[in-house]
Structure 1
Amino acid sequence: MPSSDQILEDRKVRPGTGSAARVLRVLHVGPLPPPVGGMATVIRGLQEHQPHQMRVLDTRKTTPEGRRLWRGIVAQLRLLLQLVSACCGWRPHIVHVHTCSAPTFWRSAVDVMVARLLGRRVVLHVHGARFHRFLAGLGRGAAFWARRTFAMAHATIVLGSDWREIIAPWCPPGRVHVVPNGVEVPEVPADRSAGKPLHLVCLANYEMRKGQGDLIRALAELGPETEVTLALAGAETEKGTKAQLARLAESLGVAERVTLADPVSGKDKDELLVAAHVFALASYDEGLPMAMLEAMANAMPVIVTRVGAIPEVITDREDGYLVECGDVKAIAAVIRELAASPSAVRRVGQAGHALAAREYSLARVVGDVESVYTSLWPPAAREVST
């Protein structure tokens, strides 16, 4: 079981951002990397760039697979005690709770309730590609408690306008805010137009809904005359999926052109992105994938499906390529086009980089989050707060 130092990670305000009396204290409740995942990456990005005093109550799983039930209960109770201790001792102005589908949402519901009972303002930040399915599948009693959870939060953050339409009916009026994910954007990304074969990369957990099988089928659709390779990397969150994909590649005769790697982060991920020409993600469910934004930030043209908030970001054939879920022939056609046109790889990649720098940089997203905080705790109130 982790120590309190492992659970509660502190990030002090950067010098020159204001006096202690005026600086907001924000407690984030959610996972830190590792694991590799969108929610953890978002929290780390905010932690490194927010101009606030910030602490993170790290909720990542620390007990082993196959644990006894009592160990999980003890771990959750310990996290809850850490939340109470932080709220009463450090006294954050805002508790920012990161959540997704069950069972995480129900644990988050307890966090929201406790923070409210202790007099804290609460932001509920919804991640997760299948949250709409989670809400749609709730029974009457569970739906009642979900609505109560959203009502207890002073503000709810979602990743895009479509998600706002889904979540708004569950929340009191005016409390849903759209804040997309954000990434670091290099000023001078690598040139993506040189080199053969065309190298595709997909960074996604090994799950059937992520559509890696459709990418492998698209390679087979192209035939050997189109020189293309595909690198897959991610955590196997659905057991057996990785082996199933390997068998699929073997059966379609493209195994030599497909690599299946474990999850990557840090320098390893940077190297994988630099080595590739094109990013592809054929998901059937998404929120706003961090991997797609990271690829755009690195001037890689992206081939992605029309799901979640992705169509709000990508304009087809301008700063990326949009295809329908499961349309293997359409995926293959885009790959064939890019393999034959290095100039298209460069042009669309650079347009995606410009879009990421303009709309999805961490600086921009941190500013959007700050606007939500300001609506709950204006600077004038901070001056007299303790």
Structure 2
Amino acid sequence: MKVGYLVPEFPGQTHAFFWREIRALEELGAEIRLISTRKPPADACPHAFREAAVARTTYLFPPEPGAMASAIARSPQGVVRALRYAARLSASGPREVAKNLGLVAVAATLRSLAARAGLDHVHIHSCANSANIGAMARLMGGPSYSLTLHGGLSVYGSDHAMKFAGASFVSAVTRPLAAEIAAVAPALRAPVIMMGVDTDEFRPPEHAAERPVGAPFRIVSIARLNMTKGHRFLLRAMAELAARAPQLAIEYRIVGEGPARDQIAAEIAALGLTATARLDGSKSEDEVRAILGTADALALTSVGQGEAAPVAVMEAMAMGLPVIVSRIGGTPDMIVDRVDGLLVPQEDVGAIAGAIEFLATDPAAAAAMRQAARQAAIARFDYRANAAKLWHEITSDGR
């Protein structure tokens, strides 16, 4: 079976999961054609697979010059249906109306590509405009399509009922997201299929040494530098601990890049943490694994609605690291609090400080949590098992 696999602006900083899933699907017998909306800047992906991914990916933008003519020749009624679909999309002004209509040409490009490649189906890892492109390509006689929802629907624009109407299924990475899909399209299949991690590659170091008495407790965050990731709350928790428990040494490495770099750097300086907190920039998957191997805990103190089932948390747990994570999205489904990780309320600096202090001062509890985290990752997050669930949904749909 030939399947198109569409990820917007692929490959990017956070796209290691997709590369793993592609490999797993191919091991299951899928013939995968990689598709993306547009090519990202060269520095957007620090991973070793970048060149191989770019070489394999067909980009839909700019649209093929002859794609619309080909679509009209094949199915003029289909093109009319796609134009009507685009005209019904929400728009706040003439510019957005023009942009929506322009998506029709991109959808025609997807239809042409699918026809040439003999694609039976396209799976789209987004519920934003890429979903509209898949829906309009289908209206023009293109292949069936399915979607994965990676965050709250509010993050992915509007018109979700239209996007879902023609989809074979819409999978969700958490149960709360599946409930959002069901609220829009009650009759639509909405299986919960988490993203995954390679638990063979992400595993505890073979000769991990215990943290010496008095050595700094090392925390790492692996996340885009965006204010929704909540780095500032972890930094404020560090400042609180420095004031009330100065004997407790904490070090914090922030791995990632993004638009909030200057704001986070200013927070570090304002809290007097320049000697103990540092911005490391974007790192490759191999570098991330090495950094996790030297850490004592991972923290992801995100806020808002954009977080779902963070892969960085899965990777850390697979490495046998205790995690300190906000109650957000699907994290309560991922973590059993005080067993294989620590869940904290969003924006609760005191709770974050308490979680750090607990792990840093109770090595026996931290060691037990390390073992439980590793076993939980194997049981819940292995990428092969989750890719098999996706492949089952794709291949069982009326076939």
Give the TM-score taking structure 1 as reference length.
0.79
Partner of 1:27: 4
Asked if structure 1 preserves the Cα contact closer than 8 Å seen for 2:108 and 2:137, the reply is no
Note the alpha carbon deviations across 1:49-74, whole angstroms, 9 max, x for none.
11211111033544799xxxxxxx99
Q: Helix, strand or coil for the counterpart of 2:309?
A: coil
Question: What are the ranges of 5 or more consecutive residues in structure 1 without an aligned counterpart?
Answer: 1-23, 66-72, 379-386
Asked if structure 1 preserves the Cα contact closer than 8 Å seen for 2:37 and 2:61, the reply is no
Question: What's the offset of the Cα at 1:108?
Answer: 2.5
Aligned counterpart for 2:171 among listed residues 157, 168, 172: 157
State the percentage of identical aligned residues.
28
The code of the aligned residue for 1:235 comes to E
Q: Does 1:301 align with 2:322?
A: yes
Question: What's the offset of the Cα at 1:47?
Answer: 1.0
Aligned counterpart for 1:194 among listed residues 180, 202, 211: 211
Partner of 1:54: 32
Partner of 2:144: 121
Partner of 1:348: 369
1:346 and 1:74 map into 2 onto residues whose CA distance is 49
Question: Matches of residues 52-131 of structure 1 in structure 2 within 5 Å?
Answer: 52-62=30-40, 75-78=61-64, 80=107, 82-100=109-127, 105-128=128-151, 131=152
2:62 and 2:336 map into 1 onto residues whose CA distance is 43
1:343 and 1:82 map into 2 onto residues whose CA distance is 58
Aligned-pair Cα RMSD in Å: 2.4
2:300 and 2:38 map into 1 onto residues whose CA distance is 25
| Structure 1 residues 227 and 337, CA gap change in structure 2 (3 angstroms) | same
1:33 and 1:342 map into 2 onto residues whose CA distance is 41
Q: Helix, strand or coil for the counterpart of 1:232?
A: strand
Moved over 6 A (4+): none
Q: Helix, strand or coil for the counterpart of 1:230?
A: strand
Note the alpha carbon deviations across 1:273-326, whole angstroms, 9 max, x for none.
112110000001311111111111111111000000111111100010000000
Aligned counterpart for 1:338 among listed residues 359, 383, 387: 359
Partner of 1:272: 291
2:366 and 2:310 map into 1 onto residues whose CA distance is 21
The code of the aligned residue for 2:176 comes to D
Question: What are the ranges of 5 or more consecutive residues in structure 2 without an aligned counterpart?
Answer: 44-58, 65-105
Q: Does 1:230 align with 2:252?
A: yes
2:147 and 2:292 map into 1 onto residues whose CA distance is 32
Asked if structure 1 preserves the Cα contact closer than 8 Å seen for 2:60 and 2:110, the reply is no
The code of the aligned residue for 1:35 comes to G
Asked if structure 2 preserves the Cα contact closer than 8 Å seen for 1:116 and 1:122, the reply is no
Aligned counterpart for 1:147 among listed residues 149, 155, 161: 161
Q: Helix, strand or coil for the counterpart of 1:318?
A: coil
Question: Matches of residues 314-333 of structure 1 in structure 2 within 5 Å?
Answer: 314-333=335-354
Question: Matches of residues 363-382 of structure 1 in structure 2 within 5 Å?
Answer: 363-378=384-399
| Structure 1 residues 314 and 60, CA gap change in structure 2 (3 angstroms) | farther
Question: Matches of residues 352-363 of structure 1 in structure 2 within 5 Å?
Answer: 352-363=373-384
Asked if structure 1 preserves the Cα contact closer than 8 Å seen for 2:3 and 2:33, the reply is yes
Q: Does 1:181 align with 2:158?
A: no
Question: What's the offset of the Cα at 1:132?
Answer: 3.2
Question: What's the offset of the Cα at 1:86?
Answer: 2.7
2:42 and 2:369 map into 1 onto residues whose CA distance is 44
Question: What's the offset of the Cα at 1:366?
Answer: 1.2
Partner of 1:3: none
Question: What's the offset of the Cα at 1:115?
Answer: 3.3
Asked if structure 2 preserves the Cα contact closer than 8 Å seen for 1:183 and 1:293, the reply is yes
More divergent stretch after superposition (188-197 vs 40-49) = 188-197
Asked if structure 1 preserves the Cα contact closer than 8 Å seen for 2:8 and 2:126, the reply is no
Asked if structure 1 preserves the Cα contact closer than 8 Å seen for 2:10 and 2:39, the reply is no
2:252 and 2:155 map into 1 onto residues whose CA distance is 32
Question: What's the offset of the Cα at 1:27?
Answer: 0.7
The code of the aligned residue for 2:20 comes to G
Note the alpha carbon deviations across 1:328-383, whole angstroms, 9 max, x for none.
111111111111122222211221111111111011101211221132153xxxxx
Q: Helix, strand or coil for the counterpart of 1:256?
A: coil
Aligned residues: 330
1:214 and 1:57 map into 2 onto residues whose CA distance is 38
Note the alpha carbon deviations across 1:166-196, whole angstroms, 9 max, x for none.
1112225142111011101138512474342
The code of the aligned residue for 1:75 comes to F
The code of the aligned residue for 1:319 comes to D
The code of the aligned residue for 2:61 comes to A
Note the alpha carbon deviations across 1:144-168, whole angstroms, 9 max, x for none.
xx21110111100111111111111
Partner of 1:7: none
